[in-house]
Structure 1
Amino acid sequence: MSRAAIVTGASSGIGRAVALELAQAGWRLGLVGRDEGRLAQVAQECGGDVQIGAIDMRDTASFAAFVAQFGAVDLFISNHGILDGRRDGEVVESGVVAQNVVAINLQSVIGAIHAVLPGMQARGKGQIALVSSLAGLSPLPDAPAYSASKAGLVMYGLSLREALRGSGVGVSVCCPGYVATPMGGEHLGNRPHEISAQDAARRIIKNALANKRLFGFPAPLWPMALFSLLIPEGLLRLFNGGLRFTVKKR
């Protein structure tokens, strides 16, 4: 029997690239996103055994129903999320923007995990991969809620990993830097060391299947992000000075 994976945020960007990589390796797939048309296109590109669910991930009940219908999950890659923050002319993001980012990027992910986790625990096996961001380690003044939501994923994932130790269920947390995706196009500013979605997908899959605790990329930015909370504030400002940005108005 082929291995089975559910990927959220699968209609474009990293999620689409992850789906294509897993399909090529023969996985049975459940692809979730908000745009049914784009999901159907990705499913067609994948071929094989693919089920799709056009779901707003804030609707935890609908996602739980999709998981129940899909069946046993060997790998869950939680990749959905949005980028939002300060718009041109603003000093700081609005409260509405901040609350929406946290609801989608953190709260809905926690809900999704607990839709998948009971089945994994019952079988005594499974792997959960949370796609966070380098912004979860290095604070972004132009997108505080985005940084907070991604930092929350890091801490939730690492805490959950320890809680599940010895259960057969693993948890990995991935912190990508700049990746060339449609969501990345919302970011109006410098994007150093940007990599392709395919490159990011391969790294995520490889490290998740190896049950790597915490990993990030690309190499020039990953160690800087890890040390960002330890270095003096003035030095951090110097490093990040060329990375200020705004978010495209919707």
Structure 2
Amino acid sequence: MSAGTPSNTSATHAAARASQRRCVLITGATGAIGGALAKVYATPDTHLVLHGRQPQALENIATECRARGAQVTPSSIDLTNDVELKKWLTTLCADQVPDIVIANAGKNAHPTSDTVLEPWDDVQALLDINLKTPIAMAQHLVPAMQVRGSGQLVFISSLAGWYGLPATPSYSASKAGIKAYGEGLRGLLAPHDIGVTVVMPGYVSSPMCNAMPGPKPWEWPPERAAKAIARGISANRARVSFPFPLNFGTWWLAVLPAGISQWLVKRLGFHPSGGG
């Protein structure tokens, strides 16, 4: 046996272990839920691909995840740029098709005190990242998952997807849209052994949550939300919605006569600041 054999064997074993790592892609990793999810999935058998718009915050999360044993590949590309997005995902799939893709990046918009409607530029940016980008990601990733014969797509909707809130009409529309898309895609992709999970969180502590007008009942910390989401993904659940009391209430808003729902929403205070 040559002197170089042991080290070569070790290198081979290390490469084999690396190739066996599951690949988890998370966008919006610098947000509250995304960062908490990254930490949940940060294990030695995982290659984390983390995307975030804040480079320093992203590097901090990547460092923490590496300390937990995960391999981490960070990215801050413009997800709303179709050319950049396609190039990024094509490069990723050439190396390793992600096993789990959590399209978590998103933003909110709401009417301000000096305008009735949300500013149009804000609405366009919101729809681009909340609705168009997750659909575009599926377009690029599903063919590769089909070839492999497995995969899990996770779309982040919201309990606001059950019923449009006057305080955030465009946000509600985007979350209702991605909910419907994910539900339709789940049935379409089931014969190909590709799972789809739609996540509908309530209020989760974060700067975005704090900026939203109206009350925030049953607010959860991001760590609790991330654990609930990860359990649902592991079980390939069609829908993960929480917390139960708020989910139950917002579901009723969707099925009650519209006049009653609108009256309830107004009475409960879910309207723009200064509205009534």
TM-score normalised by the shorter chain: which range applies? over 0.9
Distance 1:190 1:108 in 2: 29
Looking at structure 1, the residues matched to 46 and 107 of structure 2 have their Cα atoms a distance apart, in angstroms, of 26
Residue 181 of structure 1: aligned partner: 206
Matched-pair identity in %: 33
Is 1:82 aligned to 2:96, yes or no?
no
Match status 1:44 vs 2:67: no
Partner of 1:20: 39
State the Cα distance separating 1:90 from its structure 2 match: 2.7
Q: Matched residues in 1 for 2:272 and 2:79: separation?
A: 25
Residues of 2 paired with 1:8 and 1:78: CA distance?
5
Q: The residue matched to 1:216 in structure 2 has which SS?
A: strand
Q: Give secondary structure in 1 for the equivalent of 2:42.
A: helix
Q: Give the structure 2 partner of residue 118 of structure 1.
A: 143
Provide the TM-score with structure 2 as the length reference.
0.84
The equivalent residue for 1:7 is 26
Verify: 1:199 aligned to 2:224, yes or no.
yes
Report if the CA contact (8 A) 1:17-1:198 is conserved. Answer: yes
Measure, in 2, the Cα distance between the counterparts of 1:243 and 1:167. 44
Which segment is superposed worse, 23-32 or 144-153? 23-32
Q: Report deviation, 1:238.
A: 4.0
CA distance in 2, matches of 1:22, 1:246: 37
Give SS of 1:51's match. Answer: strand
Offset from partner CA, 1:181-213 (integer Å, 9 cap, x none): 122122133111000111111111111121111
Match of 1:217 among 235, 242, 255: 242
* Counterpart contact for 2:167–2:214, Cα < 8 Å: no
Cα deviation for residue 91 of structure 1 reads: 2.5
Matches within 5 A, 1:126-141: 126-141=151-166
Give the distance between the partners of 1:111 and 1:243, measured in 2 at CA: 35
Gaps of 5+ in 2: 1-19
Coordinate RMSD, CA, aligned: 1.7
Query: In the alignment, which of 179, 186, 199 is matched to residue 154 of structure 1?
Result: 179
Instruction: State the alpha-carbon separation in 2 of the partners of residues 128 and 25 from structure 1.
Output: 22
- Aligned equivalents of 2:122, 2:166: Cα separation in 1: 14
More relative contact order in 1 or in 2 (CA 8 Å, sep 6+)?
1
Q: Which runs of at least 4 in structure 1 moved beyond 4 Å after TM superposition?
A: none
Amino acid at match of 1:52: P
Which residue identity does 1:105 align to in structure 2? N
Whose helix proportion is higher, 1 or 2?
A: 2
Aligned AA for 1:28?
H
In 1, Cα distance between equivalents of 2:45 and 2:218? 31
93-102 or 11-20, larger mean C-alpha shift: 93-102
8 Å CA contact 1:127–1:209 kept in 2: the answer is: no
Higher Rg of the two aligned structures: 2
Q: Secondary structure at the match of 1:180?
A: coil
Instruction: Measure the CA separation in 2 of the matches of 1:245 and 1:33.
Output: 30
Q: Equivalents in 2 of 1:195, 1:243: separation in Å?
A: 20
Q: Could you say what secondary structure the match of 2:57 adopts?
A: helix
SS at match of 1:9: coil
CA distance in 2, matches of 1:25, 1:221: 36
2:74 aligned with 1:59 = no
Alignment partners' CA distance in 2, 1:178 and 1:187: 10
Q: Which runs of 5 or more residues in structure 1 are unaligned?
A: none
TM-score by length of 1: 0.93
Aligned CA distance change for structure 1 residues 237 and 25 (closer, same or farther; 3 Å): farther
Aligned to 1:73: 98
Q: Distance in 2 between matches of 1:179 and 1:65?
A: 32
Pick which of 68-77 and 90-99 moved more: 90-99
2:130 corresponds to which letter in structure 1? N
Q: Which structure has the highest strand share of the two?
A: 1
By how many angstroms is 1:115 displaced? 2.2
Residue of structure 2 equivalent to 1:95? 120
Q: How many residues align?
A: 247
